[in-house]
A and B are shown apart, each in its own frame.
Chain A
Amino acid sequence: MGFSMQPYGIQSMLKEGYRHLSGLDEAVVKNIDACKELSTITRTSLGPNGMNKMVINHLDKLFVTNDAATIVNELEIQHPAAKILVLAAKAQQEEIGDGANLTISFAGELLQNAEELIRMGLHPSEIITGYTKGINKAVEFLEQLVESGSENMDVRSKDQVISRMRAAVASKQFGQEDILCSLVADACIQVCPKNPANFNVDNVRVAKLLGGGLHNSTIVRGMVLKTDAVGSIKRMEKAKVAVFASGVDTTATETKGTVLIHSAEQLENYAKTEEAKVEELIKAVAESGAQVIVSGGAVGEMALHFCERYKLMVLKISSKFELRRFCRTTGAVAHLKLSRPNPEDLGYVDSVSVEEIGGVTVTIARNEEGGNSISTVVLRGSTDSILDDLERAVDDGVNTYKAMCRDSRTVPGAAATEIELAKRLRDYANAETGLDKYAISKFAESFEFVPKTLADNAGLNAMEIIASLYTGHGSGNTKLGIDLEEGVCKDASEMNIWDLYVTKLFALKYAADAACTVLRVDQIIMAKPAGGPRRDAAAAAAAMGED
Chain B
Amino acid sequence: MSLRVLNPNAEVLNKSAALHMNINAAKGLQDVLKTNLGPKGTIKMLVGGAGDIKLTKDGNTLLKEMQIQNPTAIMIARTAVAQDDISGDGTTSTVIFIGELMKQSERYIDEGMHPRVLVDGFEIAKRATLQFLEKFKTSAIMGNEPDKEILKMVARTTLRTKLYESLADQLTDIVVNSVLCIRKPEEPIDLFMVEIMHMRHKFDVDTRLVEGLVLDHGSRHPDMKRRAENCYILTCNVSLEYEKSEINAGFFYSNAEQREAMVAAERRSVDERVKKIIEMKNKVCAGTDNNFVVINQKGIDPPSLDLLAREGIIALRRAKRRNMERLVLACGGEAVNSVDDLTPDCLGWAGLVYEHVLGEEKYTFVEHVKNPHSCTILIKGPNDHTIAQIKDAVRDGLRSVKNTLEDECVVLGAGAFEVAARQYLINEVKKTVQGRAQLGVEAFADALLVVPKTLAENAGLDTQDVIIALKSEHDKGNVVGLNLVNGEAVDPQFAGIFDNYSVKRQLINSGPVIASQLLLVDEVIRAGRNMRKPT
Contacts and interface: CB of A to CB of B under 8 A. Distances in A.
Interface of A: 1-6, 8-10, 12-16, 18, 27, 78, 80-81, 83-84, 87-88, 90-91, 94-95, 123, 125, 245, 250-262, 266, 269-270, 273-274, 276-277, 324, 327, 333-334, 336-337, 509-510, 513, 517, 520-530, 540
B53 interface: yes
Pick the 3 closest A-B CB pairs, nearest first.
A530-B49, A91-B382, A260-B252
B250 A521 contact: no
10 contacts: A5-B21, A14-B67, A16-B69, A87-B383, A251-B263, A254-B266, A258-B253, A261-B254, A277-B257, A521-B43
A346 to B, nearest CB: 15
A10 B28 contact: yes
Interface string B302-336: 11001000000000000000000000000000000
Interface string B134-154: 000000000000000000000
Nearest to A334: B222
Given A4-B13, A15-B69, 14 more contacts: A1-B11, A3-B526, A5-B13, A9-B28, A12-B70, A88-B382, A95-B201, A254-B266, A257-B262, A258-B250, A259-B254, A261-B254, A273-B256, A523-B45
B263 to A, nearest CB: 5
A4 B24 CA distance: 13
A377 to B, nearest CB: 21
A169 B429 CA distance: 76
Contacts of B47: 80, 524-527
Contact of B27 (A3, A8, A94, A529): A8
B244 A270 contact: no
Among A256, A259, A266, chain B packs the most CB atoms within 10 A around the CB of: A259
A270 B255 contact: yes
A88 B382 CA distance: 7
A18 B67 contact: yes
B495 interface: no
Interface stretch (B29-37, B178-186, B446-454, B469-477): B29-37
Contact of A253 (B17, B44, B222, B262): B262
Among A3, A277, A513, A530, max chain B CB count under 10 A is at A3
A545 to B, nearest CB: 15
- Helix, strand, loop or mixed for chain A's interface? mixed
Contacts of B203: 509, 513
Contacts of B25: 6, 13
Contacts of A336: 302-303, 306
Interface of B: 11, 13, 17, 21, 24-25, 27-29, 31-32, 35, 40, 42-51, 53, 55, 65-70, 73, 200-204, 222-223, 242, 244-245, 249-257, 259-260, 262-263, 266, 302-303, 306, 359, 382-386, 460, 526, 530, 534-535
Contacts of B49: 527-530
Contacts of A87: 53, 382-385
A525 B259 contact: no
A90 B200 CA distance: 11
Contacts of A16: 69, 535
Contacts of A125: 40, 42, 460
A521 B45 contact: yes
Nearest to B202: A95
Given A522-B42, A524-B47, A517 B28 contact: no
Contact of B44 (A3, A254, A523, A530): A523
Given A258-B250, A336-B303, A13 B73 contact: yes
B126 to A, nearest CB: 27
A200 to B, nearest CB: 9
Contacts of A123: 460
A78 B50 CA distance: 10
A523 B35 CA distance: 9
